[in-house]
Amino acid sequence: MVEKMPLSTTYREPVGVVGCITPWNYPLGQVIQKIIPAMLMGNTVILKPSQHTPLSSYYLADAFEKAGFPKGVFNLVTGRGGEVGNALSSHPLVDMISFTGSTSGGITVGKNALESVKHISLELGGKSPYVILPSESHDYTEPIHLCFNSIFLNSGQTCTAFSRLLIPAGEKETIEKQLVEIAKEYTVGDPTDHAVKLGPVSSMQQFRKISEYIQKGMDEGAHLLIGGLPESPDHGYYIHPTIFTDVKNSMSIAQDEIFGPVLCVITYKDEKEALGIANDTRYGLNAGVYGPKDKAIALAKRIQAGNVYINSSPRDTAAPFGGYKESGLGREGGIYGMIEFTQQKALFDTGK
């Protein structure tokens, strides 16, 4: 990539050796988002997938070998994050670390990488708000479905999930009734059954963590609208969609990333208060606003998040993806994600 300046020429060059550390929740998609842009920009890659989901990466490595990739361009190393991940992020011959995972994990990786001043790209956690503006029709079916698809599908194990639903106080009773009714569509059970929308969560560790937060929500005084503590995990780590209402944004369930099918419903008096609640979080990854388009866009522009969805707009994969605040550094997706894997060089070439 070359850009002519008035007195110089600016080039973008590969960073070098890129260490990619990926999570378990979307094990193939998260890998592709990193390694393909990195290699397209001329880098070599060392991939460390989650120790919980390495098999898709094994198949990918086999495909690269069968495709005739030159040796050393794509490399796969598996193992625990605390061992292999730390070794990769600290290694003096690694020039860049691209990490997706929890904020706490990203901070650890970032500290290790900065010991040798590596390039760093971090895609971290979220506690994303979804703001529903008042509707004259009092029909909130579409925005509720959009919110539920985000927080309940994949059993809530999605960093961008709309986990805080902000609703107008005057519509609380109406919206709560619609929440209860629509939630019946989100069935839980055997994931091989096409009638089922939510399978089990990924592990006993996840099951226990989510259960503890559900208990914490009840202890904090939030009202349990649907769902609740799951049954024994003896026959699977199943957690039914859980909705808390009368939630205060200061509660743990409204501030911490639960990473499960748990929705916090928070009321607001006006758009100013809605904005304050939406931004009152250490995260800033994703958000959504549903309502009259002009009002929705005006509010969305003031929300501190890297991505904001307006009404039923789909995701644009060419757009940059990444967060504000403790949700990360850098961007993935489209040209923006490719540029992350480059470094700039300016040549001052106008003299004799």
Nearest to 287 by CA among 179, 160, 175, 159: 160
Token digits for 119? 């390039």
Pick left, alpha or beta for residue 278 (phi over 0 → left; psi -120 to 50 → alpha; otherwise beta): alpha
Does the active-site annotation cover 220? Answer: no
Strand partners, 20: 47, 98
Nearest to 45 by CA among 54, 58, 36: 36
Token digits for 335? 């040209």
| Residue in 20, 123, 257, 332 annotated catalytic | 123
β-strands 74-76, 44-48: how paired?
Answer: parallel
Kindly list the strands in the beta sheet with 2-4, ordered across the sheet, starting from the edge strand earlier in the chain. 2-4, 9-14, 342-347
Task: Scan for tokens 């506690």, then name that residue.
Answer: 127
Dihedral sign of CA atoms 265, 213, 80, 94 in order: positive
| Residue in 20, 159, 176, 271 annotated catalytic | 159
Enumerate the active-site residues. 123, 159
